[in-house]
Amino acid sequence: MDKVSEYIKESYIELTEKVTWPTWRELYNSAILVIIAAFIIAFLVLVMDQVIGLALKQFYNSLS
């Protein structure tokens, strides 16, 4: 049990004294960047899906 409590104490010290946490402004900017990137990637996947769907539709219509 001593090892567990020592681990918790060391973890707390490391998180409070040794870790460099981002500021709220940096966190906000990073979150906005991730959201914008996710929308761009989703849009690109949508466009690729529509183009491939259209190409396959044309292909299957040409076979019949």
Q: Tell me, what's the pLDDT at 27?
A: 97
Instruction: Give the span between the Cα atoms of 46 and 40, in whole angstroms.
Output: 10
pTM of the predicted protein model: 0.67
Instruction: Give the tens place of pLDDT for each residue, 46-58.
Output: 999 999 999 999 9
Instruction: Give the tens place of pLDDT for each residue, 1-47.
Output: 789 999 999 999 999 999 999 999 999 999 999 999 999 999 999 99
**61's torsion region: left (phi>0), alpha (psi -120 to 50) or beta?**
alpha
How many angstroms from the chain centroid is the CA of residue 34? 6
On whether the CB atoms of residues 22 and 30 are closer than 8 A, the answer is yes
